[in-house]
Every structure is written in C-alpha cells, then in structure tokens.
C-alpha cells in the first residue's frame, strides 16, 4: 500500500517540486507531508460543493450524500476510482476538440482530479473543522429549481397520472394536455420533473412538445419530425431545466397544447406518477428580440429509416441540418441508446470552412447530458450553414452496455433499438443582427485582451 502510494504520480510531482526548491535532499518524508496537507475541510469540500452536491445530497438522485466528512469518508476509494476515470461527475465531452466553455460545466479540472486523488492516497484525512466552508443552500424537494430566480412558475402543465406495474415492458405514454392559455406569451424558462421522488425511478425521460397552429414556422423546419414550434423541452435523468438568453424566448400561442412523450420502465414496485412542466413567463409586455426553437437534428441521412447497424460492427451515420436563417446555436444534446458510442456536431459554413463545435466521445446512455454553450462562445452562424451530426454506434462485445452484439439493429423506441439525433436550440435572427452580434463579440474580446495586457 505504502509503496503504491509513493509511486503515484502526484507524489512524484510533489517530489519534483520540492527537489527543485531544495536540491537533492532525501525527500520521501517531506513528500508525504505534502500529501497530508490535502484535507477534506480545506480542499475537498469546496470541490464537492461545486461539482457533486447537486446530485449527491439527501433526497437528490445519487445513491449517497457527499455533503460532510462522515458521509464521504467510506466512499473515498470509489470516489478516487470514479473521478480518475472521469466517470464522475457525468460529463462525456471530448476535451481536446471543439468549444470548451459551457454554462453548465460540471466536469472536474485536471487540478481538481489530482487534488482528490492525492487526498485519497494520503488516507483521506478530515483536516481542521475550522476550514470547512459554509454549507450550500439547495432547493427543497418540493420547490422548483428556478423558483429562486423567477418566483413560482407562472404555469404548470401536468400529464395524467400513469400507473406503472411492478413488472412490465417499457411504456411510451403520449397524452395531449391543453395549456389553457388565452393569449400569446413568451417563455423565459422551463423545467420538467416527475411529480414524486418515486416517479424519478420509473421515468427514464419525458419530452414535452408544443403544439400550436403556426404555418410560417415551417420555414425553418427541414424534416417531417420537426415541423412547427418544435420541442419545448426534453427532460432526462440529470437535467434541471432550461433558461433562454436575455434577448430571446420561446413563444406560446393561445389554444396551444402540450404533447407528452414519457418513457416509463418497471422497477419491481408498482408506482403511479405523472410529469410536470413548469413554465416561467417574463413580465407582461416584454418582447424578446429573437425567437428560440428547439430542433431535433438527425444524425442519419434520410431520417430515422436510414439507421442500419449490422451485428458485430462499429457503424457511422451522418445527417445534415441546413440553417435556413442566421442563428446562434445554443447547445448540443446527443440522444442515442445502449449502442451509442459518440456523436459530433460540426458547422459547414457557406465559405467552405468547417468548424468542429462539439464531440461527445464517451456517450453514456444513462446520462442525457446537455452541453449549453457559454454566452461568449455560442456559435453565431450565417444562413446557409449546414450542421453536420455524426453518430457512432458500437454494436460489438467491446461495448459493455451492448445487450447482444449478434443483433441487426434499426431505429426504434425501445432501448434495444437505436436512435441517433441531437436536440439543439437555435436562436434565429436577421442577417444584420448576426453581423452586429459578431461585431459585439469581437469588440468585447479585444477589450478583454487589452485589459490582460500589462
Ligand atoms: C448529475 C448528477 C451527479 C453529479 C454532478 C455527480 N454524481 Fe456521482 N453519481 C450520480 C448517480 C446518479 C450515481 C449512481 C449511478 C451511477 O453510478 O451512474 C453516482 C455514482 C457515484 C459513485 C459510485 C457509487 C457506487 O455505487 O460505487 C461515486 C464514487 C460518485 N458518484 C462520486 C461523485 C463525485 C466525487 C462527484 C463530484 C466530483 C459526483 N459523483 C458528481 C450522480 C452524480
């Protein structure tokens, strides 16, 4: 044990640093004291508050709480394994290509991983209680995530209750519910959640589609699956909700309906649950400048019928989504099933330039991560840009999640069938607005580099 501890590379780095300072003095004892300096209260708790507690606290989704030392200590070894392998926190993006700044980045930096590994290797000491940061305040189970920001939701649309048997095949429940709106309203944020904590166990994902009469929107749609105002929001394990940017919103019309698509699976206990959609309106009279639309972008040529995954192979499919108007691409959220391995989104510009926006190289079916671009990097793209979605499926035995590599797999709802699309929000704007957005961004970038000059 002690040997492996001395050989772990953060220790070698520690030694190297000390050697640099002290010449060639015998360093092993000092190296150990470097490790002992990493403590839970001083170094680990601040990281866990920021990157783990959202899920690892009482009443939230993860199996154990990591809020204090007593709760965390028994998990030290498994924490080291999970963070060193980048399995936790769930963030499956290739960090070597594409955009790397996100509004919701919950991944650990290399430094943070090193600190956690060194702490565990040093015997996971608690440290001085005085160093412990103040506890975080988290919303209670019954309140909505965005309540603190906007007050209680202005509208809640609930799906009819569904009773899932203890043992049954997966169910796709698609009720249609009136919103009851009598006037048009812009929307600034939405959240979906199961109605009860038990519901979380059976609800794999829930989609809420906005249905309203609006022929002129077909202008931006490119696919029969994607006509109309599109999806409102998609909820899946690990997701909190969506807030539109200050100058943009989604538009709901009077007489609109929510079409639910809820995927339930049996967990050995009969559970009755429904899904709730919470909608937050901006103050009346406020008109955002731009309209945001959530698109389903296929990673398959010719739509879902073109998905064809032979047994014992890794297959690649591609789909193209033309931007019929200029716009800002807000996020990337790949959707595949058990054989999904990787997905990328590239922009092919009218100039011929190709830009890699994002590549998820370690897709995990259990985690529908939504990668939301930070304001200053969300791609601003001209009319005529093609978004290319490329999807890789691993239908070999090398894929641990593959239920049967000898099966030929096609498109379908069941988890043993496949899908290959991305959910992408686009904020549409005029060509002039695009120009001025690009100019503004360039100006603030220059300002920033000016400030950084000594
Ligand atoms: C988005 C929610 C989320 C975040 C953020 C998150 N976890 Fe988890 N974690 C889970 C869930 C859910 C599980 C259980 C299912 C699984 O393993 O995927 C889990 C499992 C684990 C396990 C494995 C437990 C076991 O049974 O062996 C460890 C260890 C862990 N998390 C540590 C961490 C640490 C450390 C952080 C922060 C640096 C973190 N997690 C951040 C949701 C999260």
CA of 185 to the centre of ligand 1 (A): 38
Tokens 């943070």, residue located: 112
SS3 category, 5: helix
Q: Which two structure tokens, joined as six digits, stand for 215?
A: 């022929």
Is the CB of 78 within 6 Å of ligand 1? yes
> Same CATH topology for 147-288 and 289-454?
yes
Q: Which two tokens stand for residue 261?
A: 């698509």
pLDDT at 19 over 50: no
pLDDT score of 228 more than 70: no
What's the confidence (pLDDT) of residue 25?
37
Considering only 4-13, 355-364, 376-385, 439-448, which range has the smallest mean pLDDT? 4-13
- Provide the pLDDT confidence category of residue 13 given band limits of 50, 70 and 90: very low
Q: Between 107 and 223, name the one with better pLDDT.
A: 107
Q: Which of the following CATH numbers is that of domain 147-288: 2.40.128, 3.30.70, 2.60.120, 1.10.10?
A: 2.60.120
Average pLDDT over residues 52-56: 89
> Which atom number of ligand 1 is nearest to the Cα of residue 81?
29
Closest ligand 1 atom to Cα of 106: 5
Our answer on whether the CB atom of 14 is closer than 6 Å to any ligand 1 atom is no
The per-residue pLDDT for 225 is 47
pLDDT in tens, 405-429: 999 999 987 778 999 999 898 999 9
Q: What is the mean pLDDT of residues 13-34?
A: 39
Q: Which of 28-32, 248-252, 393-397 has the highest mean pLDDT?
A: 393-397
Distance CA 95, CA 108 (A): 11
pLDDT band at residue 234 using 50, 70 and 90 as cut-offs: low
Query: Strand 371-372 relative to strand 354-360: parallel, antiparallel, unpaired?
Result: unpaired
- Inter-residue contact 210 to 186 (CB < 8 Å): no
Structure tokens of 157?
Answer: 């649309």
- The answer, yes or no, to whether residue 215 has pLDDT greater than 90, is no
Asked if the model's pLDDT at residue 69 lies above 80, the reply is yes
Give the residue-averaged pLDDT of 61-71. 91
Residue-wise pLDDT for 243-280, tens only, equals: 888 788 888 889 888 988 888 988 899 999 999 999 99
Q: Which of 315, 320, 319 minimizes the C-alpha distance to 342?
A: 315
The answer to whether 392 touches 339, Cβ cutoff 8 Å, is no
Of the candidates 275, 193, 239, 188, the residue with the CA atom closest to the CA atom of residue 372 = 239
Nearest residue (CA) to ligand 1, atom 14: 62
Distance from C-alpha of 278 to C-alpha of 276, rounded to nearest angstrom:
6
Output the CA 32–ligand 1 centroid distance in Å. Answer: 29
Is 10's pLDDT higher than 70? no
Mutate to test the pocket of ligand 1, among 45, 89, 204, 238 (most ligand atoms within 8 A of CB): 89
Question: How much is the mean pLDDT over the chain?
Answer: 85
Element (H, E) at 200: helix 199-202
The predicted model gives 196-205 an average pLDDT of 82
Residue nearest to atom 12 of ligand 1 (CA): 62
What single DSSP character describes residue 230?
B
Question: What is the reported pLDDT for 8?
Answer: 34
Contacts of 32 (CB under 8 A, 6+ apart): 11, 122
Contact 122, 38 (CB under 8 A): yes
Question: How far is 193 from 181, CA to CA, in rounded Å?
Answer: 21
343 lines ligand 1 (CB under 6 A): no
List the structure tokens of 426: 């686009």
pLDDT (mean) for 190-216: 81
- The angle that helices 76-84 and 110-121 make with each other, rounded to 10 degrees, is 150
Any idea how long the chain is?
454
In order, the DSSP letters of 49-113 are: HHHTTTTSSTTSSSSS--SSHHHHGGGHHHHHHHHHTT-SS---B-TTSS---BTT--PPPHHHH
Q: Is 63 in the pocket of ligand 1 (CB under 6 A)?
A: yes
Domain limits, the chain: 37-131, 147-288, 289-454
* Terminal-residue alpha carbon distance, the chain: 48
**pTM for this one?**
0.81
Distance (Å, whole) CA 42 – CA 38: 7
Q: Residue 40: pLDDT above 60? A: yes
Higher pLDDT, 13 or 366: 366
Q: What is the whole-number distance in angstroms between the Cα of residue 324 and the centre of ligand 1?
A: 41
* Model pLDDT, residue 233: 65
Q: Confidence band (pLDDT; 50, 70, 90) for 453?
A: low
For residue 421, count CB atoms less than 10 angstroms from its CB and return exposed for 0-12, middle for 13-18, buried for 19 or more.
buried
Mean predicted confidence (pLDDT) in 6-17: 35
* 224 pLDDT higher than 70: no
Residues 225-247, mean pLDDT to the nearest whole number: 64
Q: Does the CB atom of residue 229 touch ligand 1 within 6 A?
A: no
Average pLDDT over residues 218-222: 50
Distance from residue 64's CA to the centre of ligand 1 (Å): 8
194 — pLDDT class (breaks 50, 70, 90): confident
What pLDDT is stored for residue 216 in this prediction?
57
Ranges of beta strands (E only) in 375-429 are 380-381, 386-394, 409-410, 421-429
Handedness of CA 187, 324, 348, 337 (dihedral sign): positive
For 289-454, CATH number?
2.60.120.230
What pLDDT, on a 0 to 100 scale, did the predictor assign at position 447?
80
**CB-ligand 1 contact for 56 (6 Å cutoff):** yes
Identify the DSSP state of 60: S
Which residue's CA is minimally distant from atom 15 of ligand 1?
A: 62
Q: What is the separation of C-alpha 98 from the centre of its chain, rounded to a whole number of angstroms?
A: 16
Q: Within a 10 A sphere around the Cβ of 34, how many other Cβ atoms?
A: 18
At residue 211, the pLDDT reads 81
The pLDDT tens digits of the residues spanning 104-135 come to 898 999 999 999 999 999 999 999 999 999 99
């Amino acid at each position: 044990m002690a040997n492996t501890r001395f050989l772990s590379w953060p220790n070698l780095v520690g030694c190297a640093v000390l050697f640099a300072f002290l010449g060639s003095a015998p360093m092993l004892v000092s190296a150990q004291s470097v490790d002992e300096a990493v403590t839970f209260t001083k170094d680990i708790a601040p990281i866990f508050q920021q990157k783990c507690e959202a899920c690892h606290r009482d009443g939230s989704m993860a199996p154990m709480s990591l809020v204090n030392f007593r709760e965390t200590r028994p998990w030290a070894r498994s924490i080291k394994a999970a963070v060193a392998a980048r399995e936790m926190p769930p963030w499956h993006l290739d960090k070597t290509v594409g955009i790397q700044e996100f509004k919701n980045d919950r991944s650990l930096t290399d430094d943070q991983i090193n600190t956690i590994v060194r702490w565990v290797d040093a015997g996971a000491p608690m440290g001085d209680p005085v160093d412990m940061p103040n506890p975080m305040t988290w919303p209670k189970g019954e309140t909505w995530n965005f309540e603190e920001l906007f007050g209680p939701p202005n509208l809640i649309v609930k799906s009819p209750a569904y009773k899932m048997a203890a043992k049954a095949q997966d169910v796709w429940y698609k009720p249609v519910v009136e919103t009851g709106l009598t006037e048009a309203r812009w929307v600034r944020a939405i959240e979906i959640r199961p109605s009860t904590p038990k519901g979380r166990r059976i609800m794999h994902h829930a989609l809420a589609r906005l249905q309203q009469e609006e022929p002129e929107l077909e202008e931006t749609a490119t696919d029969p699956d994607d006509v109309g105002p599109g999806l409102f929001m998609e909820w899946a394990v690990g997701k909190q909700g969506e807030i539109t940017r200050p100058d943009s919103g989604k538009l709901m019309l009077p007489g609109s309906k929510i079409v639910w698509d809820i995927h339930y699976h049996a967990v050995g206990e009969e559970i009755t649950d429904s899904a709730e959609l919470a909608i937050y309106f901006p103050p009346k009279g406020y008109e955002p400048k731009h309209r945001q639309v959530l698109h389903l972008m296929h990673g398959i040529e010719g739509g879902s019928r073109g998905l064809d995954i032979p047994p014992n192979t890794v297959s690649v499919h591609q789909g193209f989504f033309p931007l019929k108007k200029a716009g800002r691409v807000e996020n990337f959220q790949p959707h595949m099933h058990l054989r999904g391995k990787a997905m990328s989104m590239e922009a092919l510009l009218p100039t011929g330039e190709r830009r890699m926006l994002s590549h998820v190289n370690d897709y995990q079916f259990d985690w529908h991560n939504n990668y939301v671009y930070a304001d200053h990097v969300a791609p601003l793209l001209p009319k005529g840009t093609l978004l290319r979605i490329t999807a890789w499926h691993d239908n070999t035995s090398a894929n641990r999640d593959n239920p049967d590599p000898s099966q030929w797999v096609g498109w379908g709802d069941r988890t043993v069938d496949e899908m290959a699309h991305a959910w992408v929000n686009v904020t549409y704007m005029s060509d002039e607005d695009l120009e001025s957005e690009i100019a503004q961004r360039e100006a603030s970038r220059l300002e920033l580099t000016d400030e950084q000059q000594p």
